[in-house]
Structure 1
């Protein structure tokens, strides 16, 4: 059994220290409520929409990530942090995972970039990120990635039980949380945890609507538009029971002649 926490909120734009203080507060709250995994939204550490962002424009981010690692170790949480990264190959819209000992588990770069600003600013990723947490195998995608069934199906075929989705869903795209996310969970018979931002950034208003869905497409918990910390208890046996009744992956393999 894994208790997962999603923070629906926003960091403090341009102030890494203040944002890290908020990360620490939310981690303490999640730990007090018995969570083992805490997921932050897309671009939480750096801000999502940063007009004019260019290589060299993210000073202090790597040092801030080291502090996130320290928070993970202090609280014993696995933390998935949305952040933009400055790499030798260019900027990436990423999520970085830290284990409960503070060890970095890996980095995921968003593969499907949304809109002109993202495509002009970031290099798309090419590789998955998967790790173990609380008896579940966790896969990661970011925001627009979830709108591509092929990416979620690849996670399910790789044996993932939970897909964590840091996101920055803005108006007028509420349908993605309300309609697409439950279907992705159902058609792949996995848990999907969709952690959105709250509030506004230049030219954008985020819709909130974070949610955690189960393998029947049922919503286990959901938020409105306000900042909030969501929790859900995820039992792998629920997945096994659903797959035993009728397994989409097994039937698909049979249809393919595998």
Structure 2
């Protein structure tokens, strides 16, 4: 990692992992091996949503709830040891057991092996970002509501000389989550994805628009290729990407391919430059957000079509 005029340059490696073993130890062995490969020349290695397990939400199977683990726990311990040994930070998604509830979560581990504590919207210190919006729909044929409780909203994490925001998969289509992370000071957004189906067509364009709107770097790892679980096979569309604060696509991994690692130099100084040149933050009207909040609250208590 090198320092720029007003921020670091972070060398990022994005791992487009493929089919994950159902055996927890075997899955971690594979992930740590991928981490070791990707870490060469990188300051930060990033894995997709629910990276430590197969993506299991396409079928309702209560036995999968036993896959959840605490943070800190087995996965964070293995990654922390590797991060310390390699001198490289790592971020990944996992199924979190918080005792009173289970979450689709993501964690950031610094290069010294420390699980980075984030700050949530309430000002509390927390070890994970928990997916805010939980999908259940026929288009994607998933039921995450059966497994996960919703998180409380954006969390920001300070590491590597910058401030990271996080989103997980479905969250990426709610612009207000991006804007809230920016308001909390996020300069780099980590967007953890395990996505298949109709959303492939606009995947990179959606990330580019969100990056331009929030003037943040976007680092988005997705699964790639086929995965079979409980007799059901799906193909994750990959296209793991890095996007600049001006919305330019720096790099994108191949579609439907398991295993590629894409790399980019994330110059955090570009965030301030983009915001200076095109001052969206200055010209945003906060009254619109109050209107949206009131309208959404009103629709929840009426028979009107939800906004």
TM-score by length of 2: 0.77
Mark the CA change 1:148 to 1:30 in structure 2 (over 3 Å): closer, same or farther: same
In the alignment, structure 1 residue 58 sits paired with structure 2 residue 67 = yes
Structure 2 match to 1:236: 268
1:80-119 equivalences in 2 (<5 Å): 80-105=91-116, 106-116=127-137, 117-119=143-145
In the alignment, which of 212, 225, 238 is matched to residue 242 of structure 2?
212
1:1-258 equivalences in 2 (<5 Å): 1-10=9-18, 12-32=20-40, 34-50=41-57, 51=59, 52-53=61-62, 57-58=66-67, 62-105=73-116, 106-116=127-137, 117-201=143-227, 202-225=232-255, 226=257, 227-252=259-284
RMSD, matched Cα: 2.1
Task: Please report how far the alpha carbon of residue 20 of structure 1 lies from its aligned counterpart in structure 2 after TM superposition.
Answer: 1.8
Aligned residues: 255
Task: Please report how far the alpha carbon of residue 74 of structure 1 lies from its aligned counterpart in structure 2 after TM superposition.
Answer: 1.2
Of structures 1 and 2, the larger Rg is shown by: 2
Task: Please report how far the alpha carbon of residue 60 of structure 1 lies from its aligned counterpart in structure 2 after TM superposition.
Answer: 6.6
Task: For residue 128 of structure 2, give the secondary structure of its aligned residue in structure 1.
Answer: strand
Quote the Cα distance in structure 1 between the aligned partners of 2:226 and 2:166. 24
Contact 1:55–1:90 under 8 Å retained in 2: no
Q: Which runs of 5+ in 2 are unaligned?
A: 1-8, 117-126, 138-142, 289-307
Stretch deviating more after TM superposition (142-151 or 55-64)? 55-64
Mark the CA change 1:213 to 1:75 in structure 2 (over 3 Å): closer, same or farther: same
Task: Please report how far the alpha carbon of residue 49 of structure 1 lies from its aligned counterpart in structure 2 after TM superposition.
Answer: 1.9
Task: For residue 102 of structure 1, give the secondary structure of its aligned residue in structure 2.
Answer: coil
TM-score by length of 1: 0.91
Task: For residue 163 of structure 2, give the secondary structure of its aligned residue in structure 1.
Answer: strand
Stretch deviating more after TM superposition (23-32 or 148-157)? 23-32
CA offsets, 1:44-84, max 9 Å, x none? 10222253145851277732321111111111121111111
Quote the Cα distance in structure 1 between the aligned partners of 2:174 and 2:63. 27
Task: For residue 67 of structure 2, give the secondary structure of its aligned residue in structure 1.
Answer: coil
Stretch deviating more after TM superposition (53-62 or 16-25)? 53-62
Quote the Cα distance in structure 2 between the aligned partners of 1:128 and 1:77. 25
Q: Which runs of 5+ in 1 are unaligned?
A: none
